[in-house]
Chains A and B, each alone.
Chain A
Amino acid sequence: MALTSRRSAQGTAAAAPSPSRRRTSRGSGSRGRETVAGWAFISPMLLLLGLFLVIPVAMAAWVSVSDWTGRGSPLASSVSFVGAKNYTTLVSGGGLATQDFGTALRNNAWYVVLVVPLQTALSLFLAVMVNRKILRGRGAFRTAFYFPSVTSSVAITVLFLFLFAASGAVNEVIGALSGSGPNWFADPRGVLHLLLDALGVHQSPAALAGHGFVGISWWDWLAGPSVAMSVFITMAIFTTSGTFMLLFVAALQAISGEVEEAALMDGTSGWQRFRYVTLPMLRPTVFTVVTLGLIGSWQVFDQIYTGTKGGPDKTTLTPAYLSYKSSFESQQWGYGAAIAFVLFAIIVVMTILQRSVLRESDQVPRRKRFVRSVPASTTDQEQR
Chain B
Amino acid sequence: MSTTTSIRGRQASPAERSATRADRSARRRRTSTITTYVVLITLALVYIYPFLITIATSFKGDAEAVAQPLSLVPQTWSMAAYDRLLLRSDFPLWFRNSVIVTLSVTFGRVLIDSMAGYALARLHFRGRSTVFAGLVAVMAVPGVVLLIPKFLVIKQLGMYDSFAGMIIPLLADAAGIFIMKNFFESIPHSVEEAARIDGAGPFRIYWSIVLPMARPALVTLVILSFQGSWNELSHFIVASQSRDLMTLTKGVAQLASGALSAGSQYPIKLAAAAVMTIPVAVLFFVFQKRLMNVTSGAVKE
Contact = CB atoms under 8 A, between A and B. Distances in A.
Contacts of A51: 153, 157, 169, 172
Interface in A159-187: 159-163, 165, 167-169, 172-173
A269 B5 contact: yes
Interface string A134-147: 11000011111111
Given A42-B120, A135-B36, A162-B69, A340 B149 contact: yes
B189 A16 contact: yes
B295 A299 contact: no
Nearest to B269: A158
A84 interface: no
Interface residues of A, number: 116
Interface stretch (B73-81, B85-93, B212-220, B225-233): B225-233
Nearest to A129: B40
Interface in B112-159: 112-113, 115-116, 118-121, 123-128, 131-136, 138, 140-153, 156-157
B295 A42 contact: no
Contacts of B144: 299, 301, 320, 323, 340, 343
Contacts of B297: 250
Interface size class of B (residues with CB under 8 A): 35 or more
A1 B139 CA distance: 11
A2 B147 contact: no
A173 B70 contact: yes
Interface in A281-329: 285, 288, 295, 298-299, 301-302, 305-307, 309, 320, 323-324, 327-328
B106 interface: no
A247 interface: yes
Interface string B1-37: 0001100110110100000000000000100110011
Contacts of A52: 146, 150, 153, 168-169, 172
By secondary structure, the B interface counts as helix
Interface in A260-292: 267-271, 285, 288
B36 to A, nearest CB: 6
A371 interface: no
Nearest to A298: B142
Nearest to A37: B202
Nearest to A173: B70
Interface string B231-270: 1011001100000000011001101110000001010011
A156 B203 CA distance: 44
Nearest to B227: A150
A34 B248 CA distance: 43
Given A145-B44, A270-B5, A351-B140, A158 B252 contact: yes
Interface in A114-165: 126, 129-130, 132, 134-135, 140-148, 150-155, 157-163, 165
A59 interface: yes
Given A5-B185, A269-B11, A154 B253 contact: yes
Interface string A323-342: 11001100001001100110
A141 B296 CA distance: 16
A155 B153 contact: no
Contacts of A44: 111-112, 115-116
Interface in A28-57: 31, 33-35, 37-42, 44-46, 48-49, 51-57
Contacts of B66: 165, 167
A180 B272 CA distance: 30
Contacts of A148: 47, 51
Contacts of A59: 149, 152-153, 156
Given A2-B132, A147-B48, A158-B272, A341 B119 contact: no
Contacts of B201: 33, 37
A205 interface: no
Contacts of B206: 41
A305 B253 contact: yes
A213 interface: no
B300 A254 contact: yes
Contacts of B209: none
Interface string B264-297: 1010011011101100110010001001100111
B47 A33 contact: no
B146 A299 contact: no
Nearest to B253: A306
A341 B274 CA distance: 36
B171 interface: yes
B70 A169 contact: yes
B178 interface: yes
A161 B261 CA distance: 15
A132 B44 contact: no
Contacts of A20: 189
List the 4 closest pairs (A to B, CB-CB), nearest first.
A56-B149, A250-B296, A38-B125, A41-B119
27 contacts: A9-B121, A23-B124, A42-B116, A42-B120, A45-B172, A48-B172, A55-B153, A56-B149, A59-B152, A63-B152, A134-B29, A147-B51, A154-B233, A154-B253, A159-B51, A169-B50, A169-B70, A173-B70, A253-B296, A270-B32, A301-B234, A302-B249, A306-B233, A320-B147, A328-B151, A340-B145, A343-B144
Interface of B: 4-5, 8-9, 11-12, 14, 29, 32-33, 36-37, 39-40, 43-44, 47-48, 50-51, 53-54, 57, 65-67, 69-70, 111-113, 115-116, 118-121, 123-128, 131-136, 138, 140-153, 156-157, 168-169, 171-172, 174, 177-178, 181-182, 185, 188-190, 193, 201-203, 206, 227, 230-231, 233-234, 237-238, 248-249, 252-253, 255-257, 264, 266, 269-270, 272-274, 276-277, 280-281, 284, 288, 291-292, 295-301
Given A37-B123, A144-B47, 12 more contacts: A8-B185, A12-B189, A74-B152, A145-B44, A152-B230, A152-B276, A162-B54, A162-B269, A246-B296, A249-B296, A254-B300, A343-B145
